[in-house]
Structures are given as C-alpha cells and as structure tokens.
Structure 1
Amino acid sequence: ARKGGVPVIASIFASSAEEFAQISRNLDADALELNLSCPHAEKYGSELGRYPDLVESVTGAVKAASSVPVWVKLTPNTADILELGLAAQRGGADAVVAINTLKAMAIDIETGYPILGNRFGGLSGRAIKPVAVRAVYDLASRLEIPVIGVGGISSWEDAVEMIMAGASAIQVGTALLQGYGVFEEITSGLSAYLGRKSITLEELCGMAGRCS
C-alpha cells in the first residue's frame, strides 16, 4: 500500500479495547478506522459498537497507543447513533464514520435455509443510503469532530447529498463493483456541480442543516 504513494488508512477490529490497542501499535498507517460493528465478546451478546461505554473505552485505548488520527465507524443497528458518536468523541476520536452495514438476512426459498452460514449479514449499497444520510445529518449537527459519510454512494449526486447532510468526506464501497472508474465519475461530477452552483466544497458541507 505504501508503494501507491497515497495515504494509507487501516481498518481494524478486535474483541476488546486491549486487542484494539495492540493491533494499532503494530500498524504503519496514516490513520486508523475502528470497525466496532462485527460480532464481539460473548458477554455482550452482540456488537461491541452498540454500547457507548465500550465505544468510548476502545477509542481511548487506541488513541493512547497510537499517534495517528483515529476514526470510529458507527453501527446503524442502534436506537440512537448520536449517542455512539458522542461516546467516540469523548474517547478522543478524530472523526466518526457513518454508517456501517445494516443487519439483514436472506433465505433460500427452495431449501428454507438462510443463505449465509452465519444466518445474518450486513446489507450495503443503494438500499441503505437514506439511512446513512439521516445518520450523517444527525451526527454532524451535534459533534465537534468531522463526520465521514458512507453507505450507498454510487454517483456524484449521492456524494453531493451526503456532503450536504454534513459529511466532510465520503467513502465508496459497494459501487466499486462497477469498476474503479466510479471514483473519477464522482469527483468530476462533483467538481462540475460546484462550478455550476458557484460554491465551494466547504460551503456545500452541512448545507441541509443550515437550511432547516
């Protein structure tokens, strides 16, 4: 990754604050993204990232163990994602990333068995974009740290909407199935839009919040 000549952001996950810290100490990265939305310790029975106190403690442990920026990826599978974002901020996060995948399921109607071996999985792509936009809007309106928007972005129009909601940056995942050209399509389309509207990216960021 270093040979590419671009910033390297490492996504990491573990089962405890101590393990997160240990992993972070052994990575040569420009930033760390903490994936707190995978199944974790049995005592919590679900995802570590659903618990504000654990989000705060993991974030704090990684910040103490590493000298690079730390981003915390937040799960939408919660009653209040803002509560999780505030916990990450208290832990010292440099930014939050919203959102991770939505818990979902698919069943083979011929056999009656769940299609995934673990029964449940993460839903991504276009279907979750409205959920992601709402989460980014809520977080950006209250947090003092940047919000990075992700979830269903596959066009420059999607990027504009996410930035208007308050995203300081965006991520593209599922849309890569279209090929790497999606990056150029989004950046060129966004640039043309800004020129047509005669506004800057900074003015676009959070516009929906200022208009409401």
Structure 2
Amino acid sequence: MTTTAEIADSESMAERSYRILRDRLIMLDIAPGDPINEAALAADLGTGRTPMREALKRLEIDHLVVSYPRRGTFATGVDVTELASISDVRFSLESLATRRAAEEKGGIYREELEKTREAISGLDSLHDHRQLIEFDLKVHRLIYQAANNHHLEEALVRLDNLATRIWCMVLNRLPDIHQHISEHVTLIDLILAGDSEAAAAMAGEHILNFEKTVRSVL
C-alpha cells in the first residue's frame, strides 16, 4: 500500500523533473524535434519513471513536448510565426499582472524583487546572452507571482516560455540584448514604488520592444 509520504515524495520528484525539463526545453538545451528518452532522463535526474511521466504530461499541456502513438515523445518545434499571437496576448496580460504586482508593491516577493533588481544593475553587455535571458525569465516569473492570481500566473508563464524559445532560436543573430534586460530595473522600481499605471504601461512597452527586436532578425 502506498503511504502518504511516498505520494508526497513522488509529487515533489514530478515537480522537480517538470521544472528542470521545462527550463531545458525553453533554453533549447533539448533541441526542437529531439526525441524525449524517458528512461535516460529519469536516470539523469535521479527520479523514477512515474514522476517523469507526470512531468511530461504537464509539459505537453505547456506545448513544450508532443506525444505520438507508437512513435514516442518529442520536443515541439519552434514556430516563429506564432510570435505575433503570443505577443498580442502577453501585451494585455503582462500589463495586468504588473499592475497587480505594483498595487501590492511586490507583496511577499518584494525582497526577492529588490535582490533581483540589484543583480541586474550589476550586469553589463559582456555577460553572455544565456545569463541575460535567465534574468529575464526570473523577473517575469516574480512579477507573475507577485500579481497574486494563479490563473493569470499560469497563463503568463506558459506564454513567456514559448516566447523565450523563439528568442533563443534567433539568439545568435540578435544585437546586444543588455539594454532590453536592463529595462527591468526601472520596471521593478515602479512596482516597488506602487506606481501601478506607469508599471503597467512599461510592461506593455517591454513586450512590444521584445517583439520588435526579434522581428528585426527574422
């Protein structure tokens, strides 16, 4: 008989597997179209096959992997033609989430936002693109959490993940993205100050600038 502790451990391993694989797929460490070897990944992450399957089910809902009967599971392709549709929805939802986060002045995530702001302030254009993108992901995820609406957070994380995959796909053709990442300093300042309208407006502009930057190399 399965104990409560065993169930909890299985759930935590599934969550850990999900987060690690999600970020590998987002950053294209697992390339688009690559087959997903459940056994190899389970061994790599030190987890069992059941937590791995649970993680892959969630990743399929996120449109990061796709399963085919009798063929297996694969990393989804990156469709750059989806950028406009993704940006259209993100423009509205990012502005809303940022407004809510600013109304709470960061809420329980205030200290983490302050630390992240300081870290970004210390970055320069010599930092590699991967690290800059990781900071971009961190800021957006903090804002979504600070919005204190799990429905909004789930939708935005999924959209931001897809947008980041497109970004990584063209990364070697992009100009310096340091300026784009450093915009987060001002955005965080507005959130911490509780300036909800200015923060929401800047969040929308940030999304439009992202789309413009990517389109410039397509």
* TM-score of the alignment, normalized to the shorter chain, above 0.5: no
Q: Which has the higher contact order (CA 8 A, sep 6+)?
A: 2
Decide which structure has greater strand share.
1
TM-score scaled to structure 2, two decimals? 0.25
Decide which structure has greater helix share.
2
